[in-house]
Structure 1
Amino acid sequence: MAALIPAVAGLLLLATPLAAQEGGGSHAIALHGTPKYGPDFQHLDYVNPEAPKGGEVKLMAFGGYDNLNPFILRGQAAAGSGLAFETLTTSNGDEAITEYGLLAESIQVADDRSWVSFTLRPQARFHDGKPVTVDDVIWSFETLKEKGHPLYRTYYADVVKAEKTGERTIKFSFRNGNNPELPVIMGQLPVLPQHAFAGRDFAATTLEPMVGSGPYKVVDVQPGRSITYERVKDWWAKDLPINRGRYNFDRIRYDYYRDLDVAFEAFKAGAYDFRQENSSKNWTTGYNVPAVQSGQIVKEELKHQDPQGMQAFVFNIRRPIFADLRVREALNNLFDYEWTRANLSYGLYQRTKSYFANTELASTGLPSPAELKLLEPFRGQIPDEVFTKPYEPPKTDGSGNIRANLRTALGLLKEAGWDLKDGKLVNGQGQPFRFEILLVQADMERIVQPFVRNLERAGIQAQIRVVDSAQYQNRTDNFDYDMIIERFPQSLSPGNEQRDYWESSRADLPGSRNSIGIKNPVVDKLVEALIAAPDRDSLIAATRALDRVLLWNWYVIPHWHDTVYRVAYWNRFSHPAVAPKYGLGFSDTWWVDADKDAKLAGSPRRTGQ
């Protein structure tokens, strides 16, 4: 995403029972059945309700920032900036498809799902002490839609009216009842103080801390160096059951690094406290240091059930060289995943074969009857393999010899009008096949370089360019690249956000997440079928059908994913015995353990080098 935007992930809503909610309102809305936590619950199961408050935690952020407004397209939002703000409802790490009232104390949904209504809590307050009002909600909705990140216009496209229906009640009316997740989306509306923006341009970047209503507020801004948040001691929502035992750190500071290798060494030297390790090389070989051996640094692998989405080399098919499906398939044959996993990933991770990896939404085998019902009308408009073959990315034997894949690739390229002449791949006009791979993380070069060497074997000239985070964001916002590495995150119930990923209307809109540049009417129709799915089985079928069409169009070269969080941290924390099913939960469920902290403080901490 171009900016840090508080979660508005697609979560399909079929609230039950709707009629009961319409009468008196509910504390929560759920996909199927009833929410796990009833109206009288005291705390979430994966928290320690008696967790002590206190202490400061230092974290690492990459690149830089020039903006404290995470709701707009311009600028780079600061790490953690969502901590200062709240939404009408909130999710939890136990349930992927249930929302509980936060700023709203109750939720009502029309029986035909044509509207949703929220009643605000009377005690809800912004950091400046002013109450959160219905006018603030309406102003936030209208402002985000008009001046906020383009993503909001997609999410709210089917909302036709926001109106005040009571002193503390707001009602959102929808175009029709065919978009069942809209009540959830409106619950995830960030609510901002209208009075704090009087005379200010909402769409302009700012380094002035914004007034929110969340558990933390900004207390120190050092652009290019750090940003610090402080827990709001008199936070109005601290005693709500949904928050009990959460947000335990008194201060959270993000220190910025422009080099990831430097950041890793800084962690081992004690410069910051906690690290989620995404480098297989670091995890396997980089922690053989005294601080780990002595127990001062703890390494843990924490299992999770999070959807993994798709990380991949992404083709920008706005570029003519990538417009042909056969070209994209050919380049898939030139990425030697098996060799990469064995030699660069130390045998960790597994190949991603779906845009909805690690979920029941991922397509497998051949299409089911329910999928075929959606796909058959498009026979002849989509690749035949959608109907005849289970998707598998090209494989090698892992030896580094890709001769068979190279032959396949050159055959496909020849069909697409490219010939190998004097060691260079050229088209009918004699123009060489040349493109740039744009990176923001220099450590990814070790993954990309072997791919570039394989491209060279096919006569393709590929150049790696590493840019700083500001330039990278600007170029990706404006689709100024040939190929990038990107991850398409997913939820367990995809919905409206799929428009921003794949639909034709988003392909030329700066800041959209349609980084591929897809303009495919079949994809458009499958996305709309997914959004309108009336039940879970229909949603699964529509998502799998969409997955197949995306995969067999070879829009990306899939990378890998994993089912564990690999974390390392200085041994001054404790965490609940029960972990959330979804998410890591560090910043909102862990706490500084006074005994461990004192023991660590009394030992020579900088022994990691």
Structure 2
Amino acid sequence: MTFDIRATMFLLAFATPSLAEVTISHGYSAFGDLKYEADFTHFDYANPDAPQGGTMSQRHLYGTPTFNNLNTFTIKGDSAPEVGQHMYDSLMVHAYDEPDALYGLIAETIEYPDDLSYVIFNIRPHARFHDGIQITAQDVVFTINALKTEGHPFYRNLLSDVITVTAETDLRVRIDLAPGAGSAFPGDIGELPVLPAHFYDDTPFDESWMTVPLASGPYLLDTIDAPRTIKFCKDPDYWADDLPVNVGKNNFDCYAYEYFADDTVGLEAFAAGEYLMRVEYRSAAWATAYDFPAAQRDWVQQLLLPDARPANAQGIWFNLRKPALQDVRVRQALEYAFNFEWTNETLFYGTYSRNDSFFENTEMEATGIAKDAELAVLEEFRDQLPSEVFTEPAYIPYAGVASPRDRTAMRKASQLLDDAGWIVGDDGKRRNAAGEVLSLDFPDSSRSLERVMLPFTENLNSLGIDATFDVIDPSAWTERRQVFDFDLSSTAWQVNVTPGAELRAFYGSDAAWSEGSNNLSGIADPVVDALIERAVSAKNRDELIAATRALDRVLRSKHIWIGNWHLGAHRVAVWDVFGMPDQPAKYDFNRGVDFWWFDREKYQALIDAGALSDDF
């Protein structure tokens, strides 16, 4: 029997306080009620009558354009993230038309007391791994302990508030939580993939390998052609096919991903019909490159799909572990040297807005001078913060002129470098008092970034900085980033609709020197740590907003990055063979594609026209 999340069950009339109120529910929401009742049949954005079949063939969407590892839970190697997306089931799954709600998948129900001192998941008896073995509480215990001790630093930071994990029965697992773990944390645990403990009897958890993983999700690994192609096809015996969270989902027989080291080649392959869908990240390509014959004949469509999620925290991150970059004046000078206005107008066709905030396009973004609840949070740390945090508006980067050399910005940058003790010598190079040249190494694996970053490094060179932007092998870049062997890094992090414990991984002191962590800047600041904990432990969305605004304001004052750009939508090009729900998923485009379907009639029409082969 299940209950609505706000329906509280009194276990005993005269129970002790710790047992007085325990919620048992089919779903969980950090703040607010659930939209879907216990007897819901499918999500509103799902089409329960969606046709089945066909292949969703697309360009690899995430990060490094190569892979040599099928273990997605370690920092070693270049993993194929699609393995985690299609092969692994979790205890709960997000509803993408609610900001922070999850509903049971492997877990039939969730239990938790009002103080969130623990959370219990009751596992569905018929949940199975691909080898037919039942999913048990012992698998959840193994998963959390392994991720917490040996997993990627992201998981280790995320799970730092887990005290113990106990299998109370084969189908009931209890996770005891540290005080202040936060109302979003049960959802973070619910989203974790559940790993089969028996698979790791013979497979090292913390190593890179190309062994086909054992999991429990809707798809099996079908084809591997590393580092170019990976393909997943439906498990005909998938245990959760008819659950409400899966109705209208997983409609394609297969998902295939094409990896391209050179995206120009990737676009040419798309134009030739070698794959069917691509998210376009290059403004110039979107504006000028979709004039090939298939697009002219409307066989290929360009779609601009809105996304209500926060914009990615995309920027050029400064590595504060490097001595030269520990001086905030140097970092400010580098920011002046990046001419966003010229870049946007000349290279991006004026399509983007500047990233000012780490929570861009949300109510969590700090604006103006701090006031009300945000000010009350900051007041607790007044003696540890510079006065301008209280007296000046939240920091916004200098808005220059759209010319290759903004003289005003370059003069400001030069003065800041002079003030920091980096003086231009007779050879045009800046040196400090010890005679050391100001050198900056800016490696990346994306050749498409060259046209953006080369003008930036040219500006740095003109200031007397020995700066180089190098496109290197993706595997080499992964290894260097894991050990923080760089001065600058162009990276984008996804921001959750309801931020929580993952903030520690990006900005927390414990992650600053943890090899492979997401804290690229190496920021380690007690006030930032305290504000993260305020956000994590927020009891309602108002408290979360106040804490994240304060965190945003303080992070921006520290100049740990050069904010890049955002669009607020996704540029998607598709061959016209897909159907899509009338009400698409509001909060997650990438997983929203899982609710599309293959339109056989449209596909056959393109085959008959000679536009596509019958490979899909």
TM range (shorter): over 0.9
Structure 1's 17 and 472: CA in aligned 2 closer, same or farther, altered over 3 A? Answer: farther
Cα deviation, 1:51-79, whole Å, max 9, x if unaligned, reads 11111222223632111111112111124
- 1:315 matched residue in structure 2: 318
- Which shifted more, 43-52 or 149-158? 149-158
Query: Distance in 2 between the 1:388 and 1:269 partners?
Result: 57
3-state SS in 1 of match to 2:457 = helix
**What residue is the counterpart of 2:598 in the other structure?**
592
* Secondary structure, counterpart of 2:244 in structure 1: coil
Q: Partner residue of 2:54?
A: 55
Aligned to 1:298: 301
**Pairing 1:420–2:424 present:** yes
Aligned to 1:248: 251
Match of 2:546 in 1: 541
User: Which letter maps to 1:404?
Assistant: T
1:604 to 610, 613, 616: 610
Cα drift, residue 175 of structure 1 = 2.3
CA contact (8 A) 1:15 1:31 kept: no
Q: Which residue of 1 aligns with 2:290?
A: 287
Between the aligned partners of 2:228 and 2:446, the Cα distance in structure 1 is: 18
> Which residue of 1 is the match for residue 42 of structure 2?
43
Secondary structure of 1:99's counterpart equals strand
Contact 2:317/2:521 (8 A) holds in 1: yes
Counterpart-to-counterpart distance in 2, 1:115 and 1:606: 54
Shift of 1:47: 1.4
Tell me, in whole angstroms, the C-alpha distance in 1 between the residues paired with 2:396 and 2:605: 52
Q: Give deviations 1:97-131, integer Å, cap 9, x for gaps.
A: 00101100001111211011110111111111111
Task: State the shift of 1:164 in Å.
Answer: 2.2
Mean Cα deviation higher: 276-285 or 66-75: 66-75
Deviations 1:118-145 (A, max 9, x none): 1011111111111111111112122222
How many equivalent residue pairs?
594
- For residues 171 and 438 of structure 2, the distance between their equivalents in structure 1, rounded to whole angstroms, comes to 61
Q: Decide which of 427, 434, 441 is 2:446's aligned counterpart.
A: 441
1:399 is displaced (CA, Å) by 2.8
CA displacement at 1:526 relative to structure 2: 1.3
Residues in 2 aligned to 1:20 and 1:605: alpha-carbon distance in whole angstroms: 64
TM-superposed deviation, 1:181: 2.5
Partner Cα distance (1:294, 1:20) in 2: 65
Instruction: Give the match's secondary structure for 1:173.
Output: strand
Q: Deviations over 1:481-509 (max 9, x none)?
A: 11110112211211111111111111111
Is the 8 Å Cα contact of residues 355 and 565 (structure 2) preserved in structure 1?
yes
- 1:82-481 aligned at under 5 Å gives the runs 82=84, 83-379=86-382, 381-390=384-393, 391-422=395-426, 423-481=428-486
CA–CA distance in structure 1, aligned partners of residues 468 and 457 of structure 2: 8
Q: Given that residues 87 and 102 in structure 1 are in contact (C-alpha distance below 8 angstroms), is that contact kept between their aligned partners in structure 2?
A: yes
Taking the aligned partners of 1:172 and 1:218, their CA distance within structure 2 comes to 31
Q: CA deviation at 1:216?
A: 0.5
Say whether the 8 Å CA contact 2:137–2:167 is kept in structure 1: yes
Instruction: Give the 4+ runs in structure 1 shifted more than 4 A.
Output: 17-24
3-state SS of paired residue (2:28): strand
Q: Secondary structure at the match of 2:291?
A: coil
SS of equivalent to 1:242: helix
Is 2:366–2:552's contact at 8 Å kept on the other side of the alignment? yes
- In structure 2, the residue corresponding to 1:514 is in which secondary structure? coil
Paired residue type of 1:561: H
What is the CA distance between 1:444 and its match in structure 2? 0.4
1: distance between equivalents of 2:441 and 2:524?
Answer: 22
Q: Which moved more, 1:397-406 or 1:233-242?
A: 397-406
Give the Cα–Cα distance (whole angstroms) in 2 for the partners of residues 177 and 332 of structure 1. 36
- Name the structure 1 match of 2:514: 509
1:4 alignment counterpart:
none
Change (3 A) 1:586 1:531: closer
Q: Quickly say closer, same or farther: Cα 1:177–1:325, change in 2 above 3 A.
A: closer
How many Å apart are 1:150 and its aligned residue?
Answer: 2.2
SS in structure 2 of the partner of residue 47 of structure 1: coil
Q: 2:488 matched to 1:483?
A: yes
Identity %: 38
Q: What does residue 586 of structure 2 align with?
A: 581
CA contact (8 A) 1:247 1:587 kept: no
- For 1:205, what is the secondary structure of its paired residue? coil
Partner of 1:3 in structure 2?
none
Instruction: Supply the AA of the counterpart residue of 2:160.
Output: A
Residue type of the partner of 1:134? A
Q: 2:552 is aligned with what amino acid?
A: D
Give the SS at the match of 2:160: coil
Q: Residues 19, 458 of structure 1: CA spacing in aligned structure 2 closer, same or farther, 3 A cutoff?
A: farther
One-letter code of the match for 1:115? Y
Q: 1:92 to 1:284 in 2, by over 3 A?
A: same
**How far apart in 2 are the matches of 1:66 and 1:178?**
35
Judge conservation of contact 2:585–2:592 (CA < 8 Å) in 1.
no
Task: Give CA-to-partner distance per residue, 1:554-576, whole Å, 9 cap, x none.
Answer: 11011100111110011111111
User: How far is 1:426 from its partner?
Assistant: 1.8
> 1:227 & 1:309 partners in 2: Cα distance?
26
Q: Do the aligned partners of 2:302 and 2:572 also contact (CA within 8 Å) in 1?
A: yes
Question: Distance between the aligned counterparts of 1:154 and 1:401, measured in 2?
Answer: 42
The runs of 5 or more residues in structure 1 that have no matched partner are 1-13
What residue in structure 1 maps to residue 66 of structure 2? 64
What letter is aligned with 1:39? Answer: A
1:397 partner letter: V
Q: 1:383, 1:549 within 8 Å by CA — same for their partners in 2?
A: no
Q: Distance in 2 between matches of 1:309 and 1:367?
A: 23
Aligned residues of 2:5 and 2:23 also touching (Cα < 8 A): no
Using the TM superposition, give the Cα deviation of residue 374 of structure 1 relative to its aligned residue in structure 2, in angstroms: 2.1
- Aligned-partner Cα distance in 2 for 1:537–1:586: 28
TM-score by length of structure 2 reads 0.93
Q: Which amino acid aligns with 2:540?
A: D
Between the aligned partners of 1:34 and 1:173, the Cα distance in structure 2 is: 24
Q: Which residue of 1 aligns with 2:32?
A: 33
For the 8 Å contact 1:93–1:580, the answer to whether it is kept is yes
Over 3 Å counting, the alpha-carbon distance change for 1:79 and 1:180 in structure 2 is closer
Determine the C-alpha separation between the residues in 2 that align with 1:365 and 1:146.
Answer: 42
Q: Distance in 2 between matches of 1:228 and 1:573?
A: 19
**CA contact 2:8–2:23 (8 Å) conserved in 1:** no
Rounded Cα–Cα distance in structure 2 between residues aligned with 1:524 and 1:34? 30
The one-letter amino acid of 1:594's match is R
Contact 2:180 2:536 in 1 (8 A): no
TM-score where L is the length of structure 1: 0.94
| C-alpha RMSD over aligned residues | 1.8
Distance 1:323 1:23, change over 3 A: closer
Aligned AA for 1:533? A
Q: Distance in 2 between matches of 1:419 and 1:24?
A: 64
Higher deviation after alignment, 71-80 or 275-284 = 71-80
Q: Distance in 1 between matches of 2:429 and 2:170?
A: 71
Q: How far is the alpha carbon of 1:362 from its aligned partner?
A: 0.6
**For 2:66 and 2:570, how far apart are their aligned partners in 1?**
25
Cα distance, 1:24 vs structure 2: 6.7
**AA partner of residue 60 (structure 1):** R
Change (3 A) 1:289 1:606: farther
Query: C-alpha displacement at 1:29, in angstroms?
Result: 1.0
2:163 aligned counterpart, secondary structure: strand
Native 8 Å contact 2:31 2:539 kept in 1:
no
Partners of 1:94 and 1:602 lie apart in 2 by 38
